[in-house]
């Protein structure tokens, strides 16, 4: 039986014989895999105000402007120091 599926990465419709196939091609699978695992590599931030820690969703050394104006989402305190 042939199934018409929609690729989870690019949104293109593709035919397949497998029910559990989610991607139309290997590059789409790799791109999705990279995007899913990229979040695990972001650094943790420990707030000096509330002593809470959160997982950042960016790299501070690559997105300097975002890091300079970073505010703790837990307590609302502006980041201090470098």
- Render the burial of 20-42: b for 16+ CB within 10 Å, e for the rest: eeebbeeebbeebeeeeeeeeee
Mean pLDDT computed over every residue of the chain: 86
Domain of residue 24 covers: 3-39
For residues 22 and 52, state if they share a domain: no
For residues 46 and 67, state if they share a domain: yes
> What pLDDT is recorded for position 42?
82
For residues 13 and 47, state if they share a domain: no
For residues 28 and 61, state if they share a domain: no
Confidence check: pLDDT of 41 > 80? no
Summarised one tens digit per residue, pLDDT across range 50-74 is 888 888 888 888 888 888 889 888 8
> What pLDDT is recorded for position 18?
92
Q: How many domains does the chain have?
A: 2
For residues 30 and 58, state if they share a domain: no
> What pLDDT is recorded for position 81?
54
């Amino acid at each position: 039986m042939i199934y018409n599926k929609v690729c989870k990465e690019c949104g293109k419709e593709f035919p397949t014989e497998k029910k559990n196939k989610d991607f139309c091609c290997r590059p789409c699978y790799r791109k999705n895999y990279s995007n899913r695992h990229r979040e695990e590599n972001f650094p943790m931030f420990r707030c000096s105000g509330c002593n809470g820690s959160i997982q950042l969703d960016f790299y501070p050394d690559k997105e300097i402007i975002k890091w300079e104006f970073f505010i703790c989402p837990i307590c609302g305190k502006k980041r201090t120091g470098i």
